[in-house]
Structure 1
């Protein structure tokens, strides 16, 4: 798998008793030592949610799967999303209309929705992925409340992941 220039992905194992957020922040700090990372929920103003970078021209995304944290960074301001999931995840038929959906399908959709910035406020069934092996593209079909059509074509890549996991990264 070849990622675009400037895009870096790093994994960290989350030991028992250690907060997964501590692991992701440690990974981010190693990759962008000059930066500060801030999370602020737009709904409740709590110290959680999408991670924003201060002090560096970069964009980051974070995801967690059982026992692991994964971070993606790119040294530019763009829209970026990463997602990881257990390979044997169940219940995807509740969020994807295709009964044959697999965990990698979900990771791709979630990476796009994270990059888009609206996350699961958008119905995952609206994300259309066109795959060509481990590289793929996606669009988000407009919804009734969007008002306009979206012309954004998301580029994506499946990632090498620890045993038992799948992961994908997307950017515009």
Structure 2
């Protein structure tokens, strides 16, 4: 599962069983980066320092990657249930999000996650819990890719689904008045995250990158 910026714009995605501790997941992230870039784990350094408070809980940032360097490589990580999902992007800033359909259903997302137009469409379609969860993961993935996280009200973003990709509805960001880049720059892909889970990958790029699911 190796790659490099030279092999073209792509994103390596790995789904594994979640570690017992956050430190275990961070160690897994380092190993995945090493495998994706062809360097040794000892040559990889990842920081999770929060840009706002300095705590060890921010988005993962690659700060060292052997002689390859860190330019053009972006990382994202998400946990749900017993699973962890990791994305290593050679295509642009990336966000990955996986969620449990059952947990998202219990969370009653509609009022806090979706704008009026989205809620109306969901009601008209008698939408399934899976579709609601997919819409939520799409918003989370976009906000991870921009680095905003939930500092931005997710109701400001509008997500739609058109056509299918690999058997799943294809997500698209169709509205965000305050988006930091043009809406067309957000390339969204559905992720097969396993039984009971829904996932989305968002990459900020001029064209849809190749998504390569690793071991």
TM-score for both structures, normalised by structure 1: 0.81
Which stretch has the larger CA shift, 111-120 or 26-35?
A: 26-35
Q: Which residue of 2 aligns with 1:151?
A: 182
Q: Give the CA deviation at 1:150.
A: 5.2
Contact 2:114–2:158 under 8 Å retained in 1: no
Q: Which structure dedicates a bigger proportion of its chain to helix?
A: 2
Which of structures 1 and 2 has the bigger CA Rg?
2
Deviations 1:41-84 (A, max 9, x none): 012111221111123331111111111110111125x2211000
Q: Which runs of 5+ in 2 are unaligned?
A: 1-7, 123-130, 205-215
Q: Which residue of 1 aligns with 2:14?
A: 10
TM-score for both structures, normalised by structure 2: 0.66
Indicate the RMSD between aligned Cα atoms, in angstroms. Answer: 2.5
Of structures 1 and 2, the one with the larger relative CO (CA 8 A, separation 6+) is: 2
Contact 1:141–1:150 under 8 Å retained in 2: no
Work out which of the residue numbers 99, 102, 109 in structure 2 matches 1:92: 109
Deviations 1:57-116 (A, max 9, x none): 31111111111110111125x221100000221311132232746111101110011112
Q: Would the alpha carbon gap of residues 83 and 119 (structure 1) be closer, same or farther in structure 2, given more than 3 Å must change?
A: same
